[in-house]
Amino acid sequence: MNTPGSETGRGPKREPNRKTGTEAGAATKDGTDPTTASASASASATDTRLRGPAVWALVLTGTASFMAALDNLVVTTALPAIRSDLGGKLEDLEWTVNAYTLTFAVLLMFGAALGDRFGRRRLFVVGLSVFTGASAAAALSPGIDALIAARAVQGVGAAIMMPLTLTLLTAAVPAARRGMALGIYGAVTGLAVASGPLIGGSLTEHISWQWIFWLNVPIGLALIPLARLRLAESTAPGSRLDVPGTLLISGGLFGIVYGLVNANAHGWTSAPVLTGLIAGTALVGAFVRHGFRSPNPMLPMRLFRNRGFLGINFASLLMFLGMFGSIFLLSQFLQGVAGYSPTEAGLRMLPWTGMPMIVAPIAGILSDRIGGRPVVAAGLAFQALGLGWFAAILTTDLPYAAQLPPLILSGIGMALYFAPAANVLMSTVGPADQGKASGTNNALREVGGALGVAILASVFSARGGYETPQAFTDGTVPALWIGAGAVALAAALALLLPRRPGSAPAVPAARAAAPPRKVRSAG
């Protein structure tokens, strides 16, 4: 699907008198000498070493991916400090998380299409610039509304740059070393998820919560010029943008999440809540219809005719619904009720969030030996049992020694799920659809996270609140049961996956014969 950044046997076009950050007319898009570009491209297919351009691509895309993944969970351990400093109600804290995940989810595939059409390196730099600027705006926010707005813009930037990181990396790395490079990339992204609560807690405790956002700014400012100098430019000339589909799903998900977030404050039968839920559902329905009828939809609904593709995607949505919603509440429980500092709370979440770094390789081996379905189902079952165990024992004075077993069990479950789930997903589609399949799954995971925060916080608000430690515990327990139930349903769906998933219907011939990607000249 992804081709090297330059075509074999052809040097990049020359555009005189234009500068690229090196000398005018003297370099290709990735900063190499044009007299050697063709030879480098020809050798890339058989090269087994990570040379300079590939190393630069891995460093730049891996760092950008780390920042985008980190900002999913880095805010969770900072929520009590944000609430204390800026004020705001429970729904404001929900939007602090969901403003990022929602915009990230709904614009993820649109961002990839923008890169295909207008230049992947160019849009990667645009997304990185937006993300960096929005991070500074979040750090400077004078109030909770400004913070929520900045988080939404952060999500826009992440949605543009994140899908292009894999495309740029794959194009830059020789085929013989691509697996190693993608493995490092995946480990870096996993480290971001694992360390998010710890980094957020440490910065909040030892400096201030604003530094969870300031952290991105110097890194982003360093990456922007390096990306322009060190990454090759490429496009997919035949790509099209699905603007109607993007507008439909954006409006639909916003309406549904708005209704869920505000239901307890305004009442389930209030006009704003009903309008949001009904209009949002209608728009999502229109998006599904559009996905079947449009010749170039953002999300091809034909893929969901495959039972394996349908099952693994809905299992992913439910997994992230239960996981994100539970982390949202438990990170606050550890500080507000258990009395831990932000750093201590982040450390105590590591048996859950950090376990994939240890168990994921074992999960991959198991998946190769016995198939992905039983490993994914077992992982989801462990995650559900861990959340249910936590809900069953949660009290205001629960010692950490009692919390540790369900945290470890949940972490093992998360680890058993991740790598095999990706393998199962890719086995359900043909090579021509793997890019859209991956984008669809990533988007549904983010949607699941946003819905999880909204739904579990709604349950929490209906049964408890922030007034006392007992009130917080009373609200958290039923919310955790809902999270456990969602993940248990995901495990049941995983058991229904076919043993040997078949590919989804192939793309029509006219669309499969898309023009080859090209490398544009310097400038």
**61-103 pLDDT tens trace:** 889 989 988 888 888 888 889 988 888 787 788 888 888 988 8
Tokens 């021509």 belong to 432
3-state secondary structure of 513: coil
- Of 213-222, 292-301, 418-427, 439-448, the range with the lowest mean pLDDT is 418-427
Cα(418)–Cα(380) distance, integer angstroms: 10
Q: Tell me, what's the pLDDT at 319? A: 92
Q: Which CATH number fits domain 52-228: 1.20.1250.20, 3.40.50.960, 3.30.365.10, 1.10.540.10?
A: 1.20.1250.20
DSSP characters over 112-168: HHHHHHH-HHHHHHHHHHHHHHHHHHHHT-SSHHHHHHHHHHHHHHHHHHHHHHHHH
Indicate the pLDDT class of residue 434, thresholds 50, 70 and 90: low
Confidence of residue 179 (pLDDT cuts 50, 70, 90): low
Q: Is the pLDDT of residue 4 over 60?
A: no
pLDDT at 33: 44
Residue whose C-alpha is closest to residue 413's, from 392, 435, 438, 385: 385
CA 422-424-428 angle, to 5 degrees, is 115
Most confidently modeled of 155-159, 187-191, 441-445? Answer: 155-159
When pLDDT is cut at 50, 70 and 90, the band that residue 5 belongs to is: very low
CA distance 11 to 41: 8
The answer, yes or no, to whether residue 486 has pLDDT greater than 80, is yes
CA distance 480 to 391: 6
Q: Does the pLDDT of residue 185 top 60, yes or no?
A: yes
Q: What gap in Å lies between CA 444 and CA 457, rounded to an integer?
A: 20
Is pLDDT above 80 for 426? no
pLDDT tens digit string along 237-261? Answer: 666 778 888 888 888 888 888 888 7
pLDDT digits (tens, 9 = 90+) for 7-66: 333 344 444 444 444 343 334 434 444 444 444 444 444 445 556 788 888 899 889 989
The percentage of the chain sitting over the pLDDT mark of 70, rounded to a whole number, equals: 83
| Interval 340-350 mean pLDDT | 86
Cα–Cα distance list, 79 to 43, 183, 205, 207, 414 (Å): 51, 32, 12, 15, 23
Give the distance between the most distant pair of CA atoms in the chain: 72
pLDDT at 521 over 60: no
- The most confident of the ranges 109-113, 294-298, 315-319, 441-445 is 315-319
Is the pLDDT at 263 greater than 80? The verdict is no
Phi/psi at 382 (5° precision): -60, -40
Convert the pLDDT of each residue in 381-415 to its tens digit.
Answer: 999 999 999 999 999 988 999 999 999 999 888 88
Q: What value does the mean pLDDT of the chain take? A: 79
In this prediction, residue 29 carries a pLDDT of 38
pLDDT confidence tier of residue 429, bands split at 50, 70 and 90: confident
Q: Does residue 474 contact residue 463 with C-beta atoms inside 8 Å?
A: yes
Give 436's pLDDT tier (boundaries 50, 70, 90). confident
3: confidence class by pLDDT, cuts 50, 70, 90? very low
Among 489, 139, 189, CA closest to 317: 489
What letters, b where the CB count within 10 A reaches 16 and e where it falls short, cover 240-263?
A: eebeebbbbbbbbbbbbbbbbbbb
| pLDDT score of 476 | 92
Alpha-carbon distance of 78 to 420, in angstroms, equals 32
Is the pLDDT assigned to residue 214 strictly greater than 90?
yes
Spatial separation of the C-alpha atoms in residues 521 and 25, rounded to whole Å: 10
Residue 213 clears pLDDT 90, i.e. is over it: yes
Q: Do domains 52-228 and 299-505 have the same CATH topology?
A: yes
Are 472 and 466 within 8 A, CB to CB?
yes
pLDDT value of residue 134: 95
For the chain, the structural domain boundaries read 52-228, 299-505
Interior/surface letters 293-313, b for 16+ CB within 10 angstroms, e for the rest? ebeebbbbebbbebebbbbbb
Q: How far apart are the first and last CA of the chain?
A: 25
Q: List the beta bridge partners of residue 518.
A: 235
Q: Per-residue pLDDT for 483 more than 80?
A: yes
Inter-residue contact 432 to 447 (CB < 8 Å): no
| 299-505 under CATH 3.40.50.11540, yes or no | no
Exposure of 159 by Cβ count < 10 A (0-12 exposed, 13-18 middle, 19+ buried)?
A: buried
Contact call for residues 223 and 56 (beta carbons, < 8 A): no
For residue 350, give both structure tokens.
Answer: 């590591």
pLDDT at residue 167, rounded to an integer: 79
**Residue corresponding to tokens 């010692």:** 399
Q: For residue 65, give the nearest of 154, 230, 228, 189 by alpha carbon.
A: 189
